[in-house]
A and B are shown apart, each in its own frame.
Chain A
């Protein structure tokens, strides 16, 4: 371009402020951040707003009607009740962003936790489940590994192969962490099956995962021999929903999360300022970090007080049931918002055609999302087993999956694809877990109310989702 035309453009910019993309270069203060937020909500992206409102309404309602609700002991319990829903929902966010669904996530957790528990208890998985089931497990995982490598998901393939090695050597029977590794590996394998069936055969994910949901229910029975297997003897497993971080661990965890957020945000905004694109003013960044830090300090300090209402050993510290899901949320948020894999996932959810034409390996990204979902389902299954007092024959069935899907949707993840964040899963899980928690504190209310209210809350969330989608289309 000649210097003449450049001058021309510069001249036109003065006439028309829009041509200069001025809003893209201005620093953002608190005011413009709030304005942007209002614009986003108007455009049909309410973010976490409905979930926070739901949290407040339900929380205030229960606090007003029973003194037992807003006690330290009960909030500690609430974390355990929400943990497995949050973990499964964290995985579901990935497939929901694609516009797909995984109905087998709960049952996947049952299978993974069932085999892990059986391996630990029996010390000889082969003998305990019988040759048929054991052989089928190894062959199934070998097939999944082959499919993963064929689809160029090498990390998934390696993780499944590692699981096979654990099985063959019997290492999974010797240590709790190795049994967890087996559970994770089974989750990866199930995710590969889901993903390959959906992408290669083109079966809707709704059908694939509905069919496998039934299958995994049966496999869970095989894994635990139709008996409940207690897991409370295995220390890290029993800690999941029954134990807390030490006071020091809680502070370190908080320092890492808040410190990491502060450093990455400041560096990012400085970089944006240098590049000449709109950046948040230091005051706004300081406010964000400050609010997070203050809230975090209050929560950790509060959890570090003894919450055992009875005399006896103190119960204190941040529950692992709260910190583990939050840690996963942080990692997944970075993956979705800051990596090209995350960007491609959103693009596929928004328009698969656009993603394909842009040269994105659509199938590979989609299978990866299913793998992450099933792996998180396995992690959630481990927490659920601990919460349920052991690997039950019906582990992960019933309402587990529905509550997890509801959690993601209530948090703000769209059922139509293209929109969702990991924090939705956490927020929504707390809302979902609060309902049975609060109702059980009202002895006068029948238990049937739990499902009735939960269903209605989900219906409201789905309506908000549908309405905001319509708004964003008409905008």
Chain B
């Protein structure tokens, strides 16, 4: 296996007296989907926010392509090629797909927008992801379904050259058919060489698209398992009790965390 593109080692984070992350190790590999699972309050969001540069970390080290780095702010994260697609997507309904994908980073010549160039690049990006659910990049976002919006938000991350893309519950609000579209897209992102982190509660989604699964249990990494070597019930056990058979946290640690 190649080296991870992004690696977190021994990360600790406390909010006041609450120790949210305990010595968490976490790695993302290019071309793979890494599922980050865990119950509510397990520390998934905090871990992501620490990597995004939104929260500072108390101790631990982040490595980017093997080099130790400090992510002091969200702009550092995006300059490295870390893109985050949050659950509420943050799209402007009154603008079209292209305008949303380029929002805040428009292509200009002098003060004037270069709409033709932006449309071409938006189209190329969606094409590279083999998106078949959208037929025009000039469609206003207000007219899109939930799945199409998720597609636009993910494509925006790809357009900005995201090398690692974090997806926060991308299928939470979607119906069956749209969930399928988005999961296909997640798989294609990885096939295009991007490191994908899928944060999800949905075991079906996780077992379908993930290559490896990292389970957090009360702020500790219970285990990192390969999907092909595990079962849904094992992952559920890791989420709910921090251990499953011979893998997971030592009984004492799990009990102490609880």
Residues of chain B within 8 A (CB-CB) of A330 are none
B interface SS class: loop
In the complex, A31 has a CB within 8 A of chain B: no
Residues of chain A within 8 A (CB-CB) of B100 are 354
- CA gap between A198 and B116 in the complex, in Å: 36
- CA gap between A350 and B88 in the complex, in Å: 14
- CA gap between A355 and B94 in the complex, in Å: 12
Taking a contact as CB atoms under 8 Å apart, the answer to whether A347 and B127 are in contact is no
Residues of chain A within 8 A (CB-CB) of B93 are 350-351, 418, 472-473
Taking a contact as CB atoms under 8 Å apart, the answer to whether A351 and B91 are in contact is yes
Given A349-B94, A360-B104, A473-B142, A340 and B136 contact (CB-CB distance below 8 Å): no
In the complex, A21 has a CB within 8 A of chain B: yes
Nearest CB on A from B132, distance (A): 4
In the complex, A332 has a CB within 8 A of chain B: no
Interface size class of A (residues with CB under 8 A): 35 or more
A interface SS class: helix
Residues of chain B within 8 A (CB-CB) of A278 are 138
Given A23-B135, A340-B111, A418-B94, A275 and B120 contact (CB-CB distance below 8 Å): yes
Taking a contact as CB atoms under 8 Å apart, the answer to whether A354 and B92 are in contact is yes
In the complex, B257 has a CB within 8 A of chain A: no
Taking CB atoms and an 8 Å cut-off, the chain B residues in 151-195 that contact chain A are 191-192
Taking a contact as CB atoms under 8 Å apart, the answer to whether B103 and A19 are in contact is no
In the complex, A338 has a CB within 8 A of chain B: yes
Residue among A12, A339, A347 making CB contact with B103, cutoff 8 Å: A347
- CA gap between A201 and B135 in the complex, in Å: 43
Residue among A277, A343, A355 making CB contact with B113, cutoff 8 Å: A343
Nearest CB on B from A342, distance (A): 8
User: Please, what's the 1-or-0 string for A313-349, where 1 marks a CB less than 8 Å from any CB in chain B?
Assistant: 0000000000000000000000000111101101101
In the complex, A35 has a CB within 8 A of chain B: no
Among residues of B, the one whose C-beta sits closest to the C-beta of A472 is B142
- CA gap between A473 and B94 in the complex, in Å: 10
Residues of chain A within 8 A (CB-CB) of B191 are 5
Taking a contact as CB atoms under 8 Å apart, the answer to whether B90 and A277 are in contact is no
Nearest CB on B from A17, distance (A): 8
Residues of chain A within 8 A (CB-CB) of B126 are 21
User: Please, what's the 1-or-0 string for A448-475, where 1 marks a CB less than 8 Å from any CB in chain B?
Assistant: 0000000000000000000000001101
- CA gap between A12 and B99 in the complex, in Å: 26
Nearest CB on B from A365, distance (A): 11
Residue among B90, B115, B123 making CB contact with A354, cutoff 8 Å: B90
Residue among A1, A22, A274, A350 making CB contact with B95, cutoff 8 Å: A350
Residues of chain B within 8 A (CB-CB) of A340 are 106, 108, 111, 113
Q: Which 6 A-B pairs have the closest CB atoms?
A: A358-B104, A350-B92, A350-B94, A418-B94, A275-B116, A18-B135
Known contacts A5-B191, A472-B143; 8 additional CB pairs below 8 A are A22-B135, A23-B135, A277-B119, A340-B113, A343-B106, A353-B90, A355-B104, A358-B105
B residues at A contact (CB < 8 Å): 75, 86, 88, 90-95, 99-100, 103-106, 108, 111-113, 115-117, 119-120, 123, 126-128, 130-138, 140, 142-143, 191-192
